[in-house]
């Protein structure tokens, strides 16, 4: 009897999951249309078909692993994905084929073309690079054996900070040991290097002290005769670098602005002193004119 029951059970189970009868899928919620585990036809085989009306969730005792919502949004680490892929946590991506030596995260263009995409990638060199593959032949792609014809700079990130590099012929090879001219660099200590022009609507330089010490009572204001002598001999103001020195060593903008302010304040003191002298001369002149007028009147 037991053998009969076992044989009947195996026969029934096989009939339920046979591909030749309607019962070729598992379904739940009394709804074989929206809640089932079955198959779908593919070339030369069948594929696994999981259909759940409200969404599909794969999780462990630790919480949500993967969540697929009805609208097609997929969440990893979150049960409420708001985009086609929503990841709550860190992402680690890379090519496990160490012989290729390149790890990349690619983003296709909006038209969906597999031959046009941008990528953030790294290689065995010191570069972390970003570029585009403009067409099927790879023109415009940044690689160890290619150049980028449509730009003039490359960016490197290392322990020294961020550097912008440029080659003299305006083509930049990335992921290969090439020599480039450093055109811009931002170091971890806050220092920045720029080879070229810089334009901005507003620049704020914070530096202390200022030049207000010129107005202290004990400030030794240079005599104008000494300033004149220095200008004739050196061809520049005292305490101000010469044009040749500026061209060779550059100019510290903050210190230079303070030095210019110092000279303006010194000039202000000179003008105040000259104004006092002119006022005294004018008073003396008025006094002399009055005396002369009185003498003329008395001699009549």
Binned at pLDDT 50, 70 and 90, residue 91 comes out as confident
Please give the residue that has the higher pLDDT: either 240 or 109: 240
Determine whether 237 is exposed, middle or buried from the number of CB atoms within 10 Å of its CB (0-12, 13-18, 19+).
Answer: middle
The yes-or-no verdict on residue 78 having pLDDT over 50 is yes
Determine whether 62 is exposed, middle or buried from the number of CB atoms within 10 Å of its CB (0-12, 13-18, 19+).
Answer: exposed
Please give the residue that has the higher pLDDT: either 283 or 129: 283
The yes-or-no verdict on residue 93 having pLDDT over 80 is no
Same domain, yes or no: 232 and 263: yes
Give domain status of residue 4, yes or no: no
Same domain, yes or no: 83 and 109: no
Determine whether 104 is exposed, middle or buried from the number of CB atoms within 10 Å of its CB (0-12, 13-18, 19+).
Answer: middle
Same domain, yes or no: 82 and 110: no
Give the list of residues 6+ apart from residue 87 with CB closer than 8 angstroms, or none.
Answer: 75, 76, 77, 78
Same domain, yes or no: 72 and 107: no
Give the model confidence (pLDDT) of 208-255 as tens digits. 678 889 999 999 999 999 999 999 999 999 999 999 999 999 888 888
Give the model confidence (pLDDT) of 10-53 as tens digits. 445 444 444 443 446 777 778 877 788 887 788 887 788 888 88
Please give the structure tokens belonging to residue 259. 């030095």
Q: What residues make up the domain containing 239?
A: 212-298
Residue where a domain stops, chosen among 194, 227, 252: 194
Give domain status of residue 5, yes or no: no
Q: Do 240 and 255 meet the contact criterion of CB atoms below 8 Å apart?
A: no
DSSP category for residue 20: T
Give domain status of residue 137, yes or no: yes
Same domain, yes or no: 182 and 226: no
Residue 11's nearest CA partner among 48, 28, 38, 3 is 3
Name the domain count of the chain: 3
> Per-residue DSSP letters for 99-127?
TT-EEEEEEE-TT--TT-EEEEEEESSS-
pTM of the entire predicted model: 0.41
Instruction: Return the C-alpha torsion angle 144, 150, 151, 152, nearest 10.
Output: 90
Q: Do 82 and 69 meet the contact criterion of CB atoms below 8 Å apart?
A: no
Instruction: Return the C-alpha torsion angle 49, 52, 56, 57, nearest 10.
Output: -110
Give domain status of residue 94, yes or no: no
Beta bridge partners of 264: none
Mean predicted confidence (pLDDT) in 108-136: 58
Instruction: Return the C-alpha torsion angle 68, 73, 78, 82, nearest 10.
Output: -160
């Amino acid at each position: 009897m037991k053998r009969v029951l076992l044989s009947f059970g195996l026969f029934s189970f096989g009939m339920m999951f046979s591909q030749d009868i309607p019962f070729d899928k598992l379904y739940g919620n009394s709804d074989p249309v929206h809640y089932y585990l079955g198959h779908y036809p593919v070339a030369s085989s069948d594929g696994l078909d999981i259909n759940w009306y409200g969404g599909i969730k794969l999780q462990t005792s630790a919480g949500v692993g993967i969540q697929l919502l009805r609208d097609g949004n997929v969440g990893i680490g979150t049960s409420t994905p708001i985009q086609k892929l929503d990841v709550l946590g860190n992402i680690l991506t890379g090519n496990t084929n160490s012989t290729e030596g390149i790890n990349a995260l690619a983003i296709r263009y909006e038209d969906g073309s597999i031959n046009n995409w941008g990528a953030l990638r790294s290689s065995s060199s010191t570069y972390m690079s970003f570029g585009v593959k403009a067409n099927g032949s790879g023109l415009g792609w940044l690689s160890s054996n290619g150049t980028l014809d449509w730009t003039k700079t490359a960016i490197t990130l290392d322990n020294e900070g961020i550097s912008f590099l440029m080659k003299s012929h305006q083509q930049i090879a990335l992921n290969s040991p090439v020599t480039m001219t450093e055109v811009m660099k931002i170091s971890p200590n806050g220092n920045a290097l720029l080879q070229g022009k810089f334009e901005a609507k507003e620049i704020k330089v914070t530096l202390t002290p200022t030049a207000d010490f010129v107005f202290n009572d004990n400030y030794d204001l240079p005599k104008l005769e000494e300033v004149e002598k220095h200008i004739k001999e050196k061809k520049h103001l005292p305490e101000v670098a010469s044009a040749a020195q500026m061209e060779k060593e550059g100019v510290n903008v903050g210190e230079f602005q303070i030095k210019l302010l110092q000279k303006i304040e010194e000039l202000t003191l000179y003008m105040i002193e000259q104004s006092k002298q002119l006022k005294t001369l004018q008073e003396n002149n008025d006094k002399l004119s009055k005396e002369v007028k009185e003498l003329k009147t008395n001699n009549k």
